[in-house]
Chains A and B, each alone.
Chain A
């Protein structure tokens, strides 16, 4: 019985994946990609990887779709005059992607036996950190350096997006996110959903210490609610030069680095926590990171400044 269900899920995913590649219209491809993200989150749920399923639902189902749809909207005028790449380039790109796919499949289907795993070591030392969610323990205690770099990369990405603004507009507001034809339904949704969504976002961040959830999932949900308000025209995007905004962007990584440096005299070295304070420190870092992630993701979707800064 469960094998039949699993095979059906595989069939659904293959259909969406193939359609994502084959769809002629770019927007159809993006929608198929969103569907694929939602299906993948069900698969992760089936595999009992609740943290991954949450991330996939938040990032794959919601945030990525918005980013890609916005990119489509921006590309439309360019696309009209441009031409498709030649047949040879298309075949080359297809072969390259297929090669990468086959190589990945080969690595995953033929693992070393027994597969190398640090899971028992993590499980044995969980108590020392004081958190109950093993994923958060790995992300913020054992592999904190990777997580720190990942957040710094987000800031760099935002700087990259902002750098696309012409000199004249530097520090101004990004292009309006408002829908082309604001409808009553959208305004209604933007009034009803954010209170619930912000609550769920905060809950996911807070919950991340002991149960599946965490900064990225919570931050993504918060960013989505912020963007929803902008899209319905109920709120204005802030100017990118606003100091308060920039502080919010930097607060997460800055606090993380400060905590890391404090580890030199409070514990054994960079990014190590004194055992008795490990949990409060990690939760504080998580809260600051979630704020930064929410603001950074929102600003990335909004794009570079497109208006002159007001005097």
Chain B
């Protein structure tokens, strides 16, 4: 069973690795950010698979943190939208 889960984790890693193509290609920052999002989700999946396969429950916490903060990083992208008048100062 553990072998199977590790293999599944490896396959998820390869698939999320393909997201890098989107990060390099773009063309817009939002497209590139999607690569980071997929990596956050995929990383969470890998962590869960590894946690169950290896019996290290602490690894589940990594999945929690990744899932939580990858979504947060995407929100951060809205801060610097080109054309926004609020950029950096005042209302």
Q: Which residues of A contact B (CB under 8 A)?
A: 1, 5, 8-9, 11-12, 15-16, 19, 25, 27-28, 31-32, 34-35, 38-39, 41-42, 45, 48, 50, 53-54, 57-58, 61-63, 65-66, 69-70, 72-74, 76-77, 175-181, 186, 189, 193, 196-197, 200, 204, 207, 211-213, 217, 220-221, 224, 227-228, 231-232, 306-307
Secondary structure class of chain B's binding surface, majority of residues: helix
A15 to chain B, nearest CB (A): 6
If A28-B29, A54-B62, A175-B88 touch, does A224 touch B10 (CB 8 Å cutoff)? no
A218 to chain B, nearest CB (A): 10
Nearest opposing residue in chain A for B56, CB measure: A50
B59 to chain A, nearest CB (A): 6
Measured in the bound complex, the distance between the Cα atoms of B17 and A204 in whole Å is 28
Measured in the bound complex, the distance between the Cα atoms of B81 and A14 in whole Å is 28
Nearest opposing residue in chain A for B84, CB measure: A180
Contact across chains for B46 and A42 when beta carbons are under 8 A apart: yes
Measured in the bound complex, the distance between the Cα atoms of B78 and A228 in whole Å is 11
Nearest opposing residue in chain A for B57, CB measure: A211
A301 to chain B, nearest CB (A): 9
**Interface bracket on B:** 35 or more
Residue A62 contacts which of B14, B39, B73, B80 (CB distance < 8 angstroms)?
Answer: B73
Compute the total of residue contacts between A and B using a CB distance below 8 Å.
180
Contact across chains for B64 and A41 when beta carbons are under 8 A apart: no
Name which of B65, B71, B79 has the most chain A CB atoms within 10 A of its CB.
B65
Contact across chains for A31 and B29 when beta carbons are under 8 A apart: yes
If A12-B20, A28-B26, A53-B62 touch, does A197 touch B68 (CB 8 Å cutoff)? yes
